[in-house]
Structure 1
Amino acid sequence: MKKVAVIAHLHKAEALAALKDIREWASAHGVEVVSNLREAEGEEGRIGAEDDAIVRERFAGADVAVTLGGDGTLLYAAHLVAPLGIPVLAVHLGNLGFHTQVECSRLRQSLDEIAQGRYRTEPRMMLEADVAILPGAKQEFPEGPRLALNDVVVSKTAWGRMIHVRIHVDGEPASDLYADGLLVSTPTGSSAYNYAAGGPVLEPHLDAIVLNAICPHRMHFGPVVLGPEHKIEVEFHPRKPSEEAQILVDGRLWCSVTHEHSLKISRAPVYLRLIVLENAFFRKLRQKLSWGGLI
């Protein structure tokens, strides 16, 4: 191992301390360390979304990426490193940490194991979301596409109002939906917002797409699990041309859309290579989501 990329949560003192620990380990092993922090400002300037290109350039050629934070830090890292094909070790410094793999106390031990090649990676399917402008539209096209490790959400923009959308799957009309929102989830994201919205939890290594409604007005729309090859298209219902919705990708606001836009969601061409050191899916369900009975 010659190069380690680190994505640290700027506002967690534990993350900055862990970054220092990684640098000490790397120095002892002749390994280069690069991070998402602005080098000119030491450990006080995080590179934001507008500098993603700089981060990717800095991370290019890394043998492994390490996230220091929680699941949110992993989501932030996924869209940076997945296109680079770099395996990711997620260190738990957050609150829930459902998809993080190791505690900070095991960081050096885990780096030793990775340096010796004693680990496996689990490919995590991602979604790709893009917005198309319909014929005759006057509004500008939002920059895209976007990658999502957890989910893509079409949400209402005002409290007390619903959105009315029409869903197509592979060009075939699937459903009209009147609800607070539509959630399209990966298996990795199925234990997050989708689970809170009453959707099923899938094993995270599977390839599948979950369609789920957020507070539907009519209970005719239940969660649906689709194969990964399907392509989903979402448009506003033609009888509701004045509505507006916002698109969130992994919990981060991407853009607002109107009846002039069409949202297209499909399996992304890249996967996140998540380093897995133990199979703890059911233990995490019990301990972190209070699922099932005690064992």
Structure 2
Amino acid sequence: MLLSPVPMHIPDGFLSVLVSVVFWALSVVGVGYALKRVNEDLGERQVPIMGVLAAAIFAGQMLNFSVTGGTSGHLLGAALATIVLGPWAAVLVMTSVVGIQAVVFQDGGLLALGANIFNMSIVGVAVSYFTYKSMQRLLQQLVKDQPWSIPVSGFVAGWVSIFIAALACALQLALSGSSPANVAIPAMSGIHALIGIGEGLITAGALAFILAAQRDLLQPAAAPVGSHRAVWVGGLVIAVLLAILSPLASAHPDGLEWVAEQRGFLDLAQEPLYEIIPDYVLPGIGNEALATILAGVIGVGLVLAATLAVAYVRRRVQSVEV
């Protein structure tokens, strides 16, 4: 049976106005700081890779996978973006993805968008960066320059990023009074410990593929500008293919929705103020599978364009400052 992806992020109503505003402020500061520091990551050839990776992460997030007990998980992508692009560019990539999902697809509330960006873009990237670097240092001491150390480190970073982002969400729910901390934290951490295994495997698999196909993609200074055109094209093809496969996504509720249903606060979710492409289904198309595919392809294009626009503007500002 072909289905549309289920919504994945915190909706309006789960968090109090005060908590939402606080995390909006924290996210504005965090993303603004990433914009300031992104020049450390952002060479000329990284700009297209940012766009392609953002598009692939968006499409990959549409493919919810079944976990256990009638729930599902989905790719976060923060660890993969951090390892490939560096932390500052990764924050911008994840913010573009989460922002487009909220504004265009009504996945996550607008008031809750600051919290979603904080959890997935800032916490997800920061945790991924420090976990990956720590694992690389440890494995370097143990096994020296074994190529498999990169996917192994990526697996651990992917798992930890999901787990800690889920804990951040649980704390926000507790601070908002939606669910007590002694309920929200065990529930969110338990299911996301399982979802994190899927995140880790996807991250490790993607890194193993990159190592086999284009190893210098993980070494920004190792290749000349223009040497990754095949990667850009291939990445876009993969993103579109993932969007085409999106009707195969699991229809089970994702980890947050499952916890909300089990713990009795799902009714707090508010309807969105407007709808453009709600629930990743393009309106006016009778065939739901086709409507989902078209929505995914549109999303891939929007995320690609938004990420490239941010990156190119930042590069332009940098050149003027110099």
Q: Which has the higher contact order (CA 8 A, sep 6+)?
A: 2
Same fold (TM over 0.5): no
More strand per residue: 1
* TM-score when normalising by structure 1: 0.26
